[in-house]
Amino acid sequence: MIFPARAFSTAVATLLVVPITTVAAAPQAAADAGSATHAAASARRLLAHLKVARPLPLRGYSHRRFLPRWAHHKGTCDAREVVLARQGRGVRRDAHCRPVKGTWHSPYDGRVLRSVKQVDVDHLVPLAYAWRSGAAKWSQARRRAFANDLTRPELVVVSHKVNMAKGGRGPQSWRPPRRSHWCRYASAWIAVKHHHRLSVTRKERTALLNMLRTCRR
C-alpha cells in the first residue's frame, strides 16, 4: 500500500522490520529497525502537537457536507478512481476512467482483491470522526478538500468487508485486524490529523501511542 504523506514519505515507507536470517542480512535489518524506531519517534512528536479535546457533538453531520460527490482531478477521473488506479496493480479503466479490472491489496486485513466489487476506498480518518474532531467548524470547501485529499494518506483501498467492520470508529475502538499494520495505521492517522489540525481525545491518543509501540517489533 502506498501512502503518499510527504511528512512521513521516508519513515512510514520503511516501518516493517526485516527478520535477520543471515549474517549478510544483519546490516539491512538493523537499518530497517532503526527506520521503524525513527518513524515511531516522528509520529509521537506530531501527536504531541495535536490538541487534546472532548469530541464535538455529531449534531448537524451529513456525509454530503464532506462529499456531495467525488472531486475530479485528472480529466474525467475523480479522486476515488485515481486512488484505485495508483494503489492497484494491472488496473484497466474504461473510457470514463472507471476501473474495470485489477488487483488490490487491503492493508487492514491482508486480503488480495481481484474484483472491483470487493474493494472500497476508505477514509482513514472517517468523515463523521473528523466532524467531531473539529471539521464541524470548517467551511464546506475545506471539508470537501479533506474528503478528496490525494496527498495525505487519508484515502486507502481496502476490502469492503473490513471497511464495513471499521465504520466511523477511531483507534480507541477499532484497529486493523493485521497487527503488523498498526504502526503504519497509527502513523498515517496522526499525519492526517496533524496536517488538517484536527484534535484527538485522551483515549484516542492513548490508543495511538499503544499502536506505535509495535513499530519496534
Q: In this predicted structure, what is the pLDDT of residue 35?
A: 65
Q: Is residue 125 within 8 Å of residue 94, measured between CB atoms?
A: no
Residue 89 is assigned to a structural domain of this protein: yes
Q: In this predicted structure, what is the pLDDT of residue 36?
A: 64
Count of structural domains, the chain: 1
Residue segments in the chain with a per-residue pLDDT below the cut of 50: 1-32
The identity of residue 125, as a single letter, is: V
Q: Nearest 5°: CA angle at 126, between 187 and 53?
A: 75
Q: In this predicted structure, what is the pLDDT of residue 34?
A: 55
Q: What kind and span of H or E run contains 127?
A: helix 127-132
Chain position carrying cell 475523480 = 78
SS3 at position 106: coil
For 180, the domain range is 6-216
The identity of residue 101, as a single letter, is: K
Residue 76 is assigned to a structural domain of this protein: yes
For the stretch 53-64, pLDDT in tens is 999 999 999 999
Residue 149 is assigned to a structural domain of this protein: yes
Residue 30 is assigned to a structural domain of this protein: yes
Residue 187 is assigned to a structural domain of this protein: yes
Q: Alpha carbon of 32 to those of 43, 90, 97, 108: distances in Å?
A: 16, 29, 38, 21
Residue 1 is assigned to a structural domain of this protein: no
